[in-house]
Structure 1
Amino acid sequence: MLKFTGLVLLTALFFVACNNQQPKEFVVQPRDTTITVKNAYNDLFLDSAAMEDYIAKQSLGDTLAQRIRSFYNSRNYQFAWFDSSGVAEYAGSFLNAQSQYILYSKDSSLYNEDLQQLHDSLTSDSSKYQVPSKKRLGTELALTTQFFRYAFKAYVGDSSINLQDLGWFIPRKKTDMTGLLDSLISNKGKNMENYEPLNKQYNLLKEQLLKYYGYQKEGEWDSIAITKKFYKIGDTSAAIAKIKHRLFLTGDAEKDDTTTVFDTTLLAAVKHFQRRYGLKEDGAIGNDLLKEINRPIQQRIEQLLINMERMRWLPGNTDQDYLLVNIPAYRLYVYEKGQLAWSMNVVVGSIAHSTVIFNGQMKYIVFSPYWNVPNSIVRKEIMPALQRNPNYLARNNMERYNGGIRQKPGPRNSLGLVKFLFPNSYNIYLHDTPSKGLFNEASRAFSHGCIRLAEPKRLAEYLLRKDTAWTEEKITAAMNAGKEKYVTLNPTVPVVIGYFTAWVDNEGKLNFRDDIYGHDKKLAEKMFTKK
């Protein structure tokens, strides 16, 4: 069973209300006059007028200018990047982190030639390099400006990207940039990963990205062709040797085997690869497997960068209970105290009825539910069926109700025996289904937008596990009572409906999935298209 690394991180998401309110105007901190030359860690202070002159000459945007003012107000204009001996050591730590970010993200917009020269000088021999006194103020303010620019890029993501244009309705995380810089200073640049506002999954994907850059540099990613429909145990082919080598590179095979025979070791490697890519684990080498193996290395690199960008939008790890549905994985992940407890297969919306990406709070369990048929389905499907067969409603256990149509509770109900509600404007919820066969399919995008669960009773038992009034027997009885019953969850449980086509699971394995709704393609156009 594939597992999403506490991934997700995502999820303090839920603790932010899903709304479209405009961000509040940045509030500049008042000047802290308690900091003086006598109690400051150094005796270097800058002049506020000189800072304002720098801001004006650099034509800094309002928000960035306000952050700089706020940062220095909180320090009473004490220098941050210098002390009496010269450039502070953590300046090198920051510049090194920025250089690493530029290297793996391929984002050259942060490159600053003057600060790069400073970085090179500090790296070559920090004991000898001194910034000339006439350049000290400019270097100080340049470092602060650059840190805020870097922090936005590396920790928040490209602010020019409108998430809702991409069908993403989970609010961006909020990040205290000034607090980050204070942490860098107070920790002297040590152990930056301990206070960076990045979830664990981001750094796991970054590690994989660096591996793929290595594969690209080695130039061992040529397309592999096969001469028959599929290969199985015992078959021999030159292509099999190439596949063995590719599976060794991707970590699916433990040894680099150059023989041309399809043996049991290759069978295990093929199944391992199929599991990571969400393919049917039949151990056969056919078109589905070759399609994934032969995707260009640059396409995989971009897929990793796209999902890392999404991870920047999300808060860090959480120690709370929550549910995560990853649409491209067709899977629901259940987290208890921030740790993956278990997961199950789900069916999500078809391409024509795509499931919305958003977050909410699970509030109700509804046993033996009615299905209030959406007007769109009534108009497009039920009314034409009624014209062909006037007994359609009776045959499908439906009735007219409050000007609409609903299906009565029971085993034939389209929602099955239980549904789970997290109130939202998209009318999306989790539910059981009488159609169990679809859960065995590798691709499971078949619904009208709601999410069908392979193990609904197990989820009900989990959500009610702390309520002694709800035993397994009572849950089973309520599901089969044929009478609708609402149960309110207290406390509510955060739910995230996410979209991730690349992630690292709890076993440290990199997973890829198809871009079933085209969201990767849209984001790629914004990230990689040259303007």
Structure 2
Amino acid sequence: MKKIKIFIASVCMVAVALTSCKGNKDGDVSSDTETHEHSEKMIPLDTTQFASFYKQYPEFKQYSGEIAELYKKHTHYIWHEKRGLIEFAEVLYNRINQLDDEGLSKNIPYKKTLDEVFEDSGRGERPNVQTELLISSMYFYWANKTIDGLPASKSRETGWFLPRENMDLVAYLDTLMKDPQKVKGDKEEVFSQYFALKKGLAKYREIQSKGGWKTIELPEGTKVLQEGDNNAAVAQLRARLAAEGYLKSDNKSTEFDKALADAVSDYEEKHFRKYDGKVGPAILGELNVAVAERIKTITVNMERCRWIPSRLNTQKEYIAVNIPSYRLRYVRDGEIELISNVVVGKELNKTVVFTGNMSYIAFAPYWNIPQSIVEKEIQPGIAKNSNYLASHNMEYYDNGRIRQKPGGENSLGKVKFMFPNSNNIYLHDTPAKSLFNKDDRAFSHGCVRVEKARELAILITGKDGGWDENKVDEAMNSDKENTYSLKKKIPVYITYFTAWADENGNVAFFEDIYSRDVSLEHLLYKE
């Protein structure tokens, strides 16, 4: 469960937390975020009217358990003072009205009724149970949407099996009332990438408001664009890259000059590829995706951020693999220590989105071949060639099972990184180094092949056990499998993000290789 500072205090301190905090008509909170005491007595709340409220507003009944817990903790009105609504209620109402900034639908239940409540800021309105419960329901609606996101059962439908950590929203309300600035974006409780994507969302909506970008159309008979070309498609390419910020300005030139080549190179680098001097169908296909579709992709990935445990913001050591970008990051002492290309599972053998703890490293490993691969690939090979096993350095073991012996041609390469899990997925080396040069790297049977496996092993064992390069090389090139048990386990996260933004909101988009964005978009906007 996410770590939440539960605001526990005496009756006097509860009064501090539940009184007004400064705000303005735009829902902004002043830099002075302290709550202020008032001398008015708490107003008791008649809980016998709760049932009739849910009959009148059945869409809010889903929050009845949390609301009951809230008013068991606070047996009085929390959104009202004798003079009317507290100002924090208006701040929250304004956040509800800005759900589209969070990449969410503004289809708010009973919106007209809520609008009527907040006419003239609700000042002078006498406390009543219906208004009190409407605002509490509004809070739980907002918090569920913006912090928890879709229920875990729904995220699993999209192939997401990373553990979810839902927040104690009753306790969190006390936290917000104590520090109202957090309502605008709590960087302690939300995965940091969320805020980078939120900046990206604003950027791409601004691009959309200016008309977006047009399709790049190659002249008949032209397959690629490159430096030195001079035609209308070059001008279209220039305008397209300028729209997204890869060029500072668009001079309308039809000549493919060095400035344009540098912009394409920057684009490719942002997407973790090397520019080969040609703008072909693959790049043009990406650039021709409409800005409206890019906006949808950003909002879908903002939702995925809500599912990531916020502890990742401050976790000192972990390994993260993002399937669509084919990239691995090893973070140590809070800094990125290694970035490596990876190969992931092909469509029929999708790499699973989950987490585990790396506990040991196997050098010169055997590959214990899964029975499914034996049946689909090995047995047909044996049927055609009686010498198949020997020619592939394989052998029978353990009552007829098949494994591949250690060596340079072993499909796992010379090292594998183990984080035991029910999916039988791990990170490993590979002899097929050429696959890392391809843009599309979904080739494996589900495990993750790591281009810089040796470097990763050196970094991990060096810190954990004082190994040097020579010792790692000796272990990797042994003719017998040998293992290294980590003194401190390393969390490994296998994730799925088709959009990733830097701190300035510049977004890189990656192919939705398992076609999961559309299904998530449907769930997100149907809710």
Classify the TM-score, shorter chain: 0.7 to 0.9
**What is the match of residue 178 of structure 1?**
170
Pairing partner for 1:400 from 375, 386, 396: 396
Name which structure has the greater RCO, CA cutoff 8 Å, separation 6+: 1
Q: Unpaired runs of 5+ in structure 2?
A: 17-36
Between 1:81-90 and 1:338-347, the stretch displaced more is: 81-90
Q: CA offsets, 1:86-115, max 9 Å, x none?
A: 322222221222211145535133252232
Pairing partner for 2:512 from 507, 510, 515: 515
Over 3 Å counting, the alpha-carbon distance change for 1:502 and 1:172 in structure 2 is same
**What is the match of residue 462 of structure 2?**
465
Query: Quick one: distance in 2 between partners of 1:301 and 1:253?
Result: 20
Over 3 Å counting, the alpha-carbon distance change for 1:393 and 1:38 in structure 2 is closer
Aligned-partner SS, 1:309: helix
**1:422 matches 2:419:** yes
Query: Conserved in 1, the CA contact under 8 Å of 2:393 and 2:404?
Result: yes
Aligned amino acid, residue 379 of structure 1: E
Q: Unpaired runs of 5+ in structure 1?
A: 1-11, 16-28, 123-128
State TM-score, norm by structure 1: 0.86
**What is the match of residue 92 of structure 1?**
90
Pairing partner for 1:491 from 485, 488, 491: 488
State TM-score, norm by structure 2: 0.87
**What is the match of residue 8 of structure 1?**
none
Query: Conserved in 2, the CA contact under 8 Å of 1:51 and 1:141?
Result: no
Over 3 Å counting, the alpha-carbon distance change for 1:98 and 1:477 in structure 2 is same
Trace 1:10-89 onto structure 2 (pairs within 5 A).
Answer: 35=11, 41=37, 42-53=40-51, 55-57=53-55, 58-59=57-58, 64-75=63-74, 77-89=75-87
Aligned-partner SS, 2:140: helix
Percent identity of paired positions between Structure 1 and Structure 2: 37
Query: Quick one: distance in 1 between partners of 2:9 and 2:416?
Result: 58
**What is the match of residue 115 of structure 1?**
114
Query: Conserved in 1, the CA contact under 8 Å of 2:352 and 2:423?
Result: yes
Over 3 Å counting, the alpha-carbon distance change for 1:265 and 1:231 in structure 2 is same
**What is the match of residue 24 of structure 1?**
none
Query: Conserved in 1, the CA contact under 8 Å of 2:97 and 2:106?
Result: no
Query: Quick one: distance in 2 between partners of 1:479 and 1:188?
Result: 55
Q: CA offsets, 1:376-404, max 9 Å, x none?
A: 11111111211222112112211110121
**What is the match of residue 207 of structure 2?**
215
Aligned-partner SS, 1:467: helix
**What is the match of residue 250 of structure 1?**
244
Between 1:498-507 and 1:309-318, the stretch displaced more is: 498-507
**1:199 matches 2:191:** yes
Cα drift, residue 361 of structure 1: 0.8
Query: Quick one: distance in 2 between partners of 1:62 and 1:96?
Result: 23
**1:339 matches 2:335:** yes
Over 3 Å counting, the alpha-carbon distance change for 1:216 and 1:287 in structure 2 is same
Pairing partner for 1:269 from 263, 270, 288: 263
Between 1:263-272 and 1:153-162, the stretch displaced more is: 153-162
**What is the match of residue 326 of structure 1?**
322
Query: Quick one: distance in 1 between partners of 2:9 and 2:46?
Result: 13
**What is the match of residue 132 of structure 1?**
125
CA RMSD of aligned residues (A): 2.7
Query: Conserved in 1, the CA contact under 8 Å of 2:358 and 2:419?
Result: yes
Over 3 Å counting, the alpha-carbon distance change for 1:450 and 1:33 in structure 2 is closer
**What is the match of residue 295 of structure 1?**
289
**What is the match of residue 225 of structure 2?**
231
Between 1:304-313 and 1:163-172, the stretch displaced more is: 163-172
Aligned amino acid, residue 454 of structure 2: K
Between 1:458-467 and 1:307-316, the stretch displaced more is: 458-467
Query: Quick one: distance in 2 between partners of 1:361 and 1:91?
Result: 43
Aligned amino acid, residue 134 of structure 2: A
Q: CA offsets, 1:191-235, max 9 Å, x none?
A: 742466321111211111122222222223222211121121121
Cα drift, residue 464 of structure 1: 1.6
